[in-house]
């Protein structure tokens, strides 16, 4: 017989199956020798009180054996000779679109400007060590897309739990730990993601799909408002009338191309700010109300949202035990973001702290029409490059100095490898962002006492939080509002934000596209 319980226990009991069993036995008057197995179905940490608790949803097997069901991948059919769908971009949206195409009996042909996940590492080394930005292979471009070398956080604001669960199960099927199905805030980690991504690619190819690396799409052939083909950087063309465009939030050349071709796109508000780094120990102390984190607790994350000077200011993509990375996609700009290994065991914690932007903020760039938000974003990244020393050295400031408007006399080493240049953030940001950050950090300290410390360092800018452009699509057919056969997909099109929602959107676009063929 199976019983379901929801309980709250100490972190120690939560991590010890025997103690957990004993507790369930005594609290529910079930003889201990009748409990054959305790399965943790869901786990979350409640750190609101001084005594930290773990919420567990359990399935208890009483006089019944537990037969674990391995997660099985769908039965992907052979699609070598099936109708073809072109997918531009091998990020989560493109890869999950490709898998879904196969499931539905279509042949995906994935065109990716970057390199395969293993070769891509060399270019990451080059940007970190030699400040060389390869515009096709970097932290945003290449197999697996922008999230490959990330924290691999897998939570999303999507309310469609069924869709989220399906993507998580697929990730487990492709090699992720099944704990991502249990944790309330699952993550995978930079060291584990590449293997999962290459397993997905191998499956696509094994079933007859194609994946082409170092294959940048530079043009679309459009006739009578219908897509007829795509042109590649080498000048060759592929004739097709089905294109899923999943090129991500950083594909500025694609946004420019669509604009030049008079294909409807829209400026989209996004958020922008800094990436702040504290010691993980300090974040643990604040969040867990302790001097040293106990052995049964993970490095603590945090999440904070405030209304400051009429705008939202909030933490974004927080990486416990993580590292700040140089995420520029073009020479002449500086961009930050963060990643963590699966154990989140680095001594530092970083988070984007960003300010909500509104369409009227891009007024100075209105000559660029729907690209105004993108040009605003680009101008700040270029400014950071200039004042940082015209390299991947990042403009940085101690946190209290930022709030007090003082240039930092010195800077401690941080996890950002290419190096720091001491800069007053007023030199990087327009005044309204600078002032909002200054006021907002004071408010953050009221919520998280000790957060505002001069041992913390801000790095600027955190600017690729979401796409500055939307490629609008019909809500029903998911085709572009003007161009038949073109399916704007994922984060770059403005329909996702994060790995999971991009993957969900990839599946949706594949379904809509396949429905017109099969
Ligand atoms: C360092 C970092 C850490 C992150 N951490 C997390 C996290 O922990 N959790 C989370 O949910 N999200 C995270 N994100 C965000 C997440 O990566 C994105 O939301 C997600 O990858 C978007 O998926 P996508 O498929 O829509 O686009 P992308 O992942 O951006 O993929 C687009 C792909 O298209 C390719 N492409 C672009 N132009 C062309 C062209 N012209 N021709 C051919 N190919 C092209 C690119 O090379 C790229 O591979 C992080 C991002 C970064 C940069």
CATH number, domain with residue 201: 3.50.50.60
- The pTM assigned to this predicted structure is 0.96
CATH number of domain containing 11: 3.30.70.2700
Question: What would the two tokens of residue 221 be?
Answer: 């052939």
Mean pLDDT, rounded, for 425-440 = 98
**428, pLDDT greater than 80:** yes
Cα 90 to chain centroid, rounded: 14
Selected residue with higher pLDDT from 412 and 153? 412
| CB neighbour list of residue 224: distance below 8 Å, 6 or more residues apart | none
At 69-118, the pLDDT tens digits run 889 999 999 999 999 999 999 999 999 999 999 999 999 999 999 999 99
pLDDT band at 22 (very low <50, low <70, confident <90, very high): very high
**Could you tell me if 110 and 90 are in contact, meaning their C-beta atoms sit under 8 angstroms apart?**
yes
Q: Are 270 and 467 in contact (CB under 8 A)?
A: yes
Pull the structure tokens for residue 278: 């504290």
Higher-scoring residue by pLDDT: 154, 351 = 351
Tell me if 78 is assigned to some domain.
Answer: no
pLDDT digit string (tens) for 388-402?
Answer: 999 999 999 999 999
Q: Is 216 in the pocket of ligand 1 (CB under 6 A)?
A: yes
Q: Is the pLDDT of residue 161 over 80?
A: no
pLDDT at 87: 99
Q: Whose CA is nearest to atom 18 of ligand 1?
A: 498
Cis peptide before 300 (omega within 30 of 0): no
Q: What CA–CA distances, in Å, run from 459 to 244, 335, 400?
A: 35, 9, 13
Task: Share the mean pLDDT of the chain.
Answer: 96
The DSSP symbol for 72 reads: -
How many domains does the chain contain in total?
3
- Cβ neighbours, 10 Å, residue 266: 14
Ligand 1 atom with the smallest distance to the CA of 149 is 1
pLDDT of residue 150: 82
Contact predicate 350/320, CB 8 Å: no
- Where residue 49 falls among pLDDT bands split at 50, 70, 90? confident
Crossing angle, helix 92-103 and helix 193-206, to 10 degrees?
30
Strand-pairing partners, residue 395, are 421
Is the CB of 211 inside a 6 Å radius of any atom of ligand 1?
A: no
pLDDT of 155: 81
Residues 146 and 231 in one domain: yes
Q: Is 200 in the pocket of ligand 1 (CB under 6 A)?
A: no
Same-domain pairing of 168 and 252:
yes
377 shares a domain with 494: no
Q: Are residues 94 and 185 in the same domain?
A: yes
Regarding whether 293 and 259 lie in a shared domain, the answer is no
Confidence of residue 481 (pLDDT cuts 50, 70, 90): very high
Q: Which of 86, 88, 91 to mutate for ligand 1's pocket (most ligand atoms within 8 Å of CB)?
A: 91
Cα 94 to middle of ligand 1, angstroms: 10
Q: Assign 290 to helix, strand or coil.
A: coil
Task: Please state the rounded mean pLDDT for residues 459-482.
Answer: 98
Residues 241 and 103 in one domain: yes
Tell me, what's the pLDDT at 158?
67
Is 144 a member of any domain? yes
Quickly state the pLDDT bin for 159 (edges 50, 70, 90). low
Question: 497 is written with which tokens?
Answer: 């934000």
pLDDT at 235 over 90: yes
Cα–Cα distance measured from residue 469 to residue 373, given in angstroms and rounded to the nearest whole number? 7
Clarify whether residues 244 and 287 are in a common domain: no
**Residues 12 and 133 grouped into a single domain:** no
Ligand 1 mean position, distance from CA 277 (Å): 23
Q: Is residue 20 part of a domain?
A: yes
Instruction: Establish whether residue 485 lines the binding site of ligand 1, counting it when its CB lies within 6 angstroms of any ligand atom.
Output: no
* Domain assignment of residue 69, yes or no: no
296-315 confidence digits (pLDDT tens): 999 999 999 999 999 999 99
**Candidate of 146, 211, 487, 495 to mutate for ligand 1, largest count of ligand atoms within 8 Å of Cβ:** 146
Position 68 confidence tier, pLDDT thresholds 50, 70, 90? confident
Look up residue 486 and give its two tokens. Answer: 């073109």
Question: Could you tell me if the CB of 492 is within 6 A of ligand 1?
Answer: yes
Pair 328, 308: CB distance under 8 Å: no
Q: Please report the pLDDT score of residue 278 as a whole number.
A: 98
pLDDT above 90 (res 202): yes
Q: Is residue 74 part of a domain?
A: no
Question: How far is ligand 1, taken at its centre, from the CA of residue 498, in Å?
Answer: 8
422 and 356 fall within a common domain? yes
User: What distance in angstroms lies between residue 452's CA and the mean position of ligand 1's atoms?
Assistant: 31
Share of the chain above pLDDT 90, in %: 93
What is the C-alpha separation between 358 and 436, in angstroms, rounded?
A: 14
Query: Taking a C-beta distance cutoff of 8 angstroms, is the pair 406, 255 a contact?
Result: no
Quote the pLDDT of residue 20.
94
Whether residues 292 and 420 share a domain: the answer is: yes
Give the span between the Cα atoms of 337 and 313, in whole angstroms: 17
Instruction: Report which protein residue has its CA nearest ligand 1's atom 30.
Output: 248
Angstrom distance (rounded) from CA 379 to CA 115: 28
pLDDT of residue 70: 86
Of 145, 210, 335, the residue with max ligand 1 atoms within 8 A of its CB, to mutate for a pocket test, comes to 145
382 located within any domain? yes
Domain contains 360: yes
Q: Which domain holds residue 297?
A: 271-462
Ligand 1 atom 19, closest CA: 498
Å from CA of 190 to ligand 1 middle: 14
**Ligand 1 contact, 255 CB (< 6 A):** no
Reported confidence tier of residue 152, pLDDT bands at 50, 70, 90: confident
Going by pLDDT thresholds of 50, 70 and 90, the confidence category of residue 377 is: very high
* Index of the ligand 1 atom closest to the CA of residue 254: 41
Please tell me if the CB atom of residue 92 comes closer than 6 angstroms to any atom of ligand 1.
Answer: yes
Q: State whether the beta carbon of 468 lies less than 6 angstroms from ligand 1.
A: no
> Quick one: 251 and 105 in the same domain?
yes
Q: How far is residue 87's CA from residue 2's CA, in Å, rounded to a whole number?
A: 45
The pLDDT value recorded for residue 189 is 87
Counting from 1 in the atom list of ligand 1, the atom nearest the Cα of 111 is 43
Residue 70 placed within a domain: no
Q: Can you give the pLDDT at residue 86?
A: 98
Q: How far is the CA of 31 from the centre of ligand 1 (A)?
A: 51
Say yes or no: CB of residue 91 within 6 Å of ligand 1.
yes
For residues 354 and 499, state if they share a domain: no
- Which among 447, 462, 477 is the end of a domain? 462
Any atom of ligand 1 within 6 Å of the Cβ of 142: yes
Q: Is the CB of 503 under 6 A from ligand 1?
A: no
For ligand 1, is residue 203 a contact (CB within 6 Å)? no
**Residue 461 Cα to ligand 1 middle (Å):** 18
């Amino acid at each position: 017989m199976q019983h379901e319980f929801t309980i709250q226990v100490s972190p120690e009991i939560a991590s010890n199956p025997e103690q957990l069993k004993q507790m369930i036995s005594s609290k529910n008057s079930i003889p201990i020798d009748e409990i054959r197995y305790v399965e943790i179905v869901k786990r979350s940490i409640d750190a609101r009180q001084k005594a930290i608790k773990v919420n567990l949803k359990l399935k208890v097997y009483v006089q019944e054996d537990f037969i674990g069901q391995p997660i099985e991948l769908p039965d992907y059919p052979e699609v070598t000779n099936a109708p073809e769908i072109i997918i531009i971009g091998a990020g989560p949206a493109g890869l999950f679109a490709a898998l879904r195409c196969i499931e539905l009996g279509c042949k995906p042909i994935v065109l990716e400007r970057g390199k395969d996940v293993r070769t891509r590492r060399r270019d990451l080394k080059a940007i970190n060590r030699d400040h060389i930005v390869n515009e096709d292979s970097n932290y945003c471009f290449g197999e697996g897309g922008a999230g490959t070398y990330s924290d691999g956080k897998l939570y999303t604001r999507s309310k469609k739990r069924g869709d989220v669960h399906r993507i998580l199960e697929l990730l487990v099927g492709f090699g992720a730990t099944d704990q991502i199905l249990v944790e309330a805030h699952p993550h995978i980690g930079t060291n584990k993601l590449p293997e999962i991504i290459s397993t997905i690619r191998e499956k696509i190819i094994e079933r007859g799909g194609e994946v082409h690396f170092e294959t940048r799409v530079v043009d679309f052939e459009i006739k009578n408002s219908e897509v007829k083909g795509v042109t590649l950087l080498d000048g060759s063309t592929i004739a097709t009338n089905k294109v899923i465009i999943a090129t991500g939030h950083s594909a500025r050349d694609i946004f420019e191309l669509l604009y030049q071709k008079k294909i409807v796109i829209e400026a989209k508000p996004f958020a922008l700010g800094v990436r702040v780094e504290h010691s993980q120990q300090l974040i643990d102390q604040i969040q867990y109300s302790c001097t040293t984190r106990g052995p049964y607790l993970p490095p603590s994350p945090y999440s904070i949202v405030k209304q400051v000077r009429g705008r939202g200011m909030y933490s974004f993509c927080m990486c416990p035990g993580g590292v700040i990375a140089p995420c520029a996609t073009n020479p002449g700009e500086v961009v930050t973001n963060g990643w963590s290994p699966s154990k989140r065991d680095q001594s530092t914690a970083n988070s984007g702290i960003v300010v909500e932007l509104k369409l009227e903020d891009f007024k100075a760039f209105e000559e660029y029409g729907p690209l105004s938000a993108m040009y605003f974003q680009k101008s700040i990244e270029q400014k950071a490059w200039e004042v940082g020393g015209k390299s991947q050295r990042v403009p940085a400031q101690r946190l209290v100095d930022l709030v007090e408007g003082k240039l930092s006399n010195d800077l401690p080493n941080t996890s950002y490898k290419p190096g720091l240049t001491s800069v007053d953030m007023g030199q990087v940001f327009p005044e309204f962002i600078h002032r909002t950050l200054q006021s907002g950090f004071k408010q953050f300290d009221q919520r998280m006492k000790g957060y505002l410390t001069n041992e913390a360092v801000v790095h600027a800018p955190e600017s690729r939080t979401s796409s500055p452009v939307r490629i609008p699509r019909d809500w029903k057919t998911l085709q572009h509002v003007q161009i038949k056969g073109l399916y704007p997909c994922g984060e770059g099109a403005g329909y996702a934000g994060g790995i999971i929602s991009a993957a969900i959107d990839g599946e949706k676009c594949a379904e809509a596209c396949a429905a017109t063929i099969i």
